[in-house]
Copies of this chain bind each other. A is one copy, B any other.
Amino acid sequence: MKESVPDVVIQRLPMYAQMLAALKEVGVESVGSRELGAMLRTTPAQVRKDLSYFGRFGKQGMGYDVSQLSSELGRVLGLGREWSVVLVGTGRLGRALLDHKGFLHDDYRMVAAFDKSSRRIGRKLAGLVIQDVSELEDTVRNKGTQIGIVAVPPGEAQQVIDALVRAGAKAILNYAPIVARVPKGVQLRQVIPVHSLQSMTYYLKSMESGRGSEAGC
């Protein structure tokens, strides 16, 4: 239980949580750092060190109780309570996100969706009536929503993000391929698949011309 936990560790926690949930699903009751590490392509030491930031969840000789560790991690990640989420942008991408089965687990609930286009406003989508984006700030403020998902075209993304921030949002998941700007204290995550593709083609190219094997992922 340290002062401040490194960000890399936080980024790995969801993987542990996901894997533990899967194990629990299958009925596995106990798991060791060796197994967990193997499943997640990392070392036992890494697993143990990461977990040790938050407490002592294992038993020597026995490993970790899947169910217990799963709920501990959930607690650490702030799950187990329901976070409300708003979606801005209901084009193809936004609609896909909203419908995507299991995109939002049980821990996140979409409470409003916004769009600019009058063609879409008023239509229903996954149980929500799409609202005009001009209502965004008031709605977010009133509902006390802290999480916004941005799926609008690049040109409008920054101003949507600004609006979310003004309305009190503290976490933003942005799908627009821009380098967004948020004030300190607001969390931002970018989802830009092209970046993943580009980093992969770097290695593909190197494999062709350079010598065989570069670092994997």
Please list the residues of chain A having a beta carbon within 8 angstroms of any beta carbon in chain B.
Answer: 4, 7, 10-11, 13-15, 17-19, 22, 39-41, 76-79, 83, 85, 92-93, 95-97, 99-105, 107-108, 146-147, 153-154, 170-171, 173, 177-179, 182, 184-189, 191-205, 207, 212-217
Q: Which of B4, B146, B177 contacts A102 (CB 8 A)?
A: B177
Q: Say yes or no: A104 contacts B194, CB within 8 Å.
A: yes
Distance (whole angstroms) from the CB of A79 to the closest CB of chain B:
7
The complex is assembled from copies of this chain, and their number is: 2
Interface hub of A15, A85, A217 (most chain B Cβ within 10 A): A217
Once the chains are docked, how many angstroms separate the CA of A100 from the CA of B7? 31
A40 to B178, CA, bound (A): 10
Select from chain B the residue with minimum beta-carbon distance to A216. B184
Assess the B99–A185 pair: CB atoms within 8 A: no
Nearest opposing residue in chain B for A201, CB measure: B78
Q: B197 and A173: CB pair below 8 A?
A: yes
In the complex, what's the smallest C-beta–C-beta distance from A24 to chain B, in angstroms?
Answer: 15
